[in-house]
Chains A and B, each alone.
Chain A
């Protein structure tokens, strides 16, 4: 991977902003366009860009495949867990109304947690798929 130094420097400069943008999309999803899915894709894109510019091996050291592969089920588990929390508070599955002191806050908290779950799974899956495709091509 001998790429132009300009590309490397520009990428390094951009990556933190991309991550920041992903965070914005994630948290601002309540008010503007965006949410867990979009943020997850952007986060994954950051890692993929890093891998394209700096090579697969350093990226895999930075973000190990085992972590990525655990993220895939973990996100679904968060989602399912929020749903089960509905049982505990005496409501139906995925009812967030009693997660906090009043209904509106409960809903907001529930939505935030659920979106976090989506982010984790989407991000993990995208990176994991990219890793396996890239890894397959190395041999």
Chain B
């Protein structure tokens, strides 16, 4: 019985928890609620993944109204891994959170801070699971509004500016998305993605549909921080509270990537988007620009969180690169990098959270000798950093392997070289941290500080360990990613 309702429960449970935390307000009680609720999520997401692997896809009609009249939740090979990712990250970050939050958020605000976190989780899960274009917008706004608040609660006053900037750009992005959906809606009369895909056949080449494609792509690109539209991201990540940064960096942009893929492949169809229109060169150029320019900027950052944020922009470039190739291998590479980069960035930001908790230091030059005073944390940082570079044996290598393979399949050896070359820039910025952390005398700022709580180190290490585990045994993640690529390429218009 309960198995049948899992798709709805996955979103409703964090919503109920959010409401409960808002009602009780008390910091500790709210935290316990958050922890319990967020640990039920990965359980449910894994059960759903099991159902998908068994049955192919799971559809759930909300309100009992069959789509397209009602809103449908639909889990298939493409979004099931993403749901597992978001749910697991929510649980891990919630476990990590209490003392980190206690050190950064005023006691009077803690209860509601968790409310915002849960709303953000519910919003992201809602976007990932829905098969209704407008419903996706509503949940996009839930997660966005919650994100703005989370960012604004950072300790630095510039956090407010970062949140404001993100609010403006995020709203523009969401509005452009709504314009695109509106055009599709007028042309097809439907909002359900599968139904739209079926009804689009035959009228693809009309102008409104092409305009809709443009609006939706640009709108979502703002959200996923595609290269020239990434301006909000570095500040947002740099000034948000540690725990929020770790969660957002590993999930928010990934969900936006998924939504874009859903539209490009499932809804408009691979043929229409990539064969008839010059999307591939544009996306390819932007991806390459992101990989090089953002990596390059990352090298010159003074603030460790900003450095990692720019590195995120660069890594999103790798993901869109795989998308631009629009082949099975390329998409597999993109999807596997979605999962892998989430693990890597999660581990890195959690490690930074540990450093900030203990020393309060953000600036890279003040981190001198931190490797000697916090060896356990920094070891995790370095392992994840190696993943960022793409050293064999880490998850980063798996992603790059697929991307290079996809590039070579097309016969574009220069692209394969570019992928390897841009990884070398990552060596520079990760190497810089290693040099400062281990090969300099510890400064007084790094020596002093509180004891690090066990749960923070433990979660950081779970994440860092995962980057190694899935790097050595890539069967699981690559298998899921390959399945996702198949599902996306098959489109929704076909049978089923």
Contact = CB atoms under 8 A, between A and B. Distances in A.
Contact between A and B in the complex (any CB pair below 8 Å): yes
A83 B9 CA distance: 11
B63 A93 contact: yes
Contacts of B16: 77, 80
A83 B13 CA distance: 12
B23 A74 contact: yes
A97 B64 contact: yes
B63 A94 contact: yes
A117 to B, nearest CB: 11
A73 interface: yes
Contact of A73 (B19, B61, B64, B65): B19
B23 A93 contact: no
A96 B70 CA distance: 13
Contacts of A91: 64
A121 B61 CA distance: 26
Interface string B164-183: 00000000000000000000
Interface string B1-18: 000010010001001101
A80 B63 CA distance: 12
Contacts of B19: 73, 76-77, 80
A96 B62 CA distance: 11
A70 B5 contact: no
Interface string B203-222: 00000000000000000000
A59 interface: no
B1 to A, nearest CB: 9
Contact of B5 (A73, A74, A92, A96): A92
Interface residues of A, number: 18
B416 interface: no
Contacts of A34: none
Interface string B454-492: 000000000000000000000000000000000000000
A62 to B, nearest CB: 22
A126 to B, nearest CB: 16
Interface in A88-104: 91-97
B22 interface: yes
A14 interface: no
B109 to A, nearest CB: 13
Nearest to A77: B19
Could you tell me the dominant secondary structure of chain A's interface residues?
helix
A107 to B, nearest CB: 10
Interface string A55-84: 000000000000000101110110010011
Nearest to B60: A92
A121 to B, nearest CB: 10
A70 B23 contact: yes
A94 to B, nearest CB: 4
A91 B22 CA distance: 28
Contacts of B61: 92
Interface string B239-279: 00000000000000000000000000000000000000000
Nearest to B5: A87
Contacts of A94: 62-64
Contacts of A87: 5
B63 A76 contact: no
Given A92-B64, A94-B63, A95-B64, A73 B12 contact: no
Contacts of B60: 92-93
A29 interface: no
A126 B16 CA distance: 21
Interface in B270-307: none
Interface in B2-51: 5, 8, 12, 15-16, 18-20, 22-23
Contact of A93 (B12, B18, B20, B22): B12
Nearest to A91: B64
Contact of A92 (B20, B22, B62): B62
B5 A83 contact: no
A93 B8 contact: yes
Interface in A30-47: none
A92 B15 contact: no
A139 B23 CA distance: 28
Given A80-B16, A83-B12, A72 B63 contact: no
Given A87-B5, A93-B63, A95-B64, A73 B22 contact: yes
Nearest to B65: A95
Contacts of B15: 76, 80
B108 to A, nearest CB: 13
Instruction: Please indicate which of the listed interface residues A74, A76, A84, A93 has the most CB atoms of chain B within 10 Å of its own CB.
Output: A93
Contacts of A93: 5, 8, 12, 60, 62-63
B8 A92 contact: yes
A40 to B, nearest CB: 17
A132 B8 CA distance: 34
A50 B22 CA distance: 27
A72 B22 contact: yes
A73 B63 contact: no
A84 B12 contact: yes
A73 B8 contact: no
A92 B12 contact: no
Contacts of B64: 86, 91-92, 94-95, 97
Given A80-B12, A83-B12, A84-B12, A73 B23 contact: yes
Given A73-B18, A77-B20, 12 more contacts: A70-B23, A72-B22, A80-B19, A83-B8, A86-B64, A91-B64, A92-B8, A92-B60, A93-B12, A93-B62, A94-B64, A95-B65
23 contacts: A72-B22, A73-B19, A73-B22, A74-B23, A76-B19, A77-B19, A77-B20, A80-B16, A83-B8, A84-B12, A86-B63, A86-B64, A92-B5, A92-B60, A92-B61, A92-B62, A92-B63, A93-B5, A93-B8, A93-B12, A93-B60, A94-B64, A95-B64
Give 6 closest A-B pairs by Cβ, nearest first.
A95-B64, A93-B8, A73-B22, A94-B63, A73-B19, A92-B64
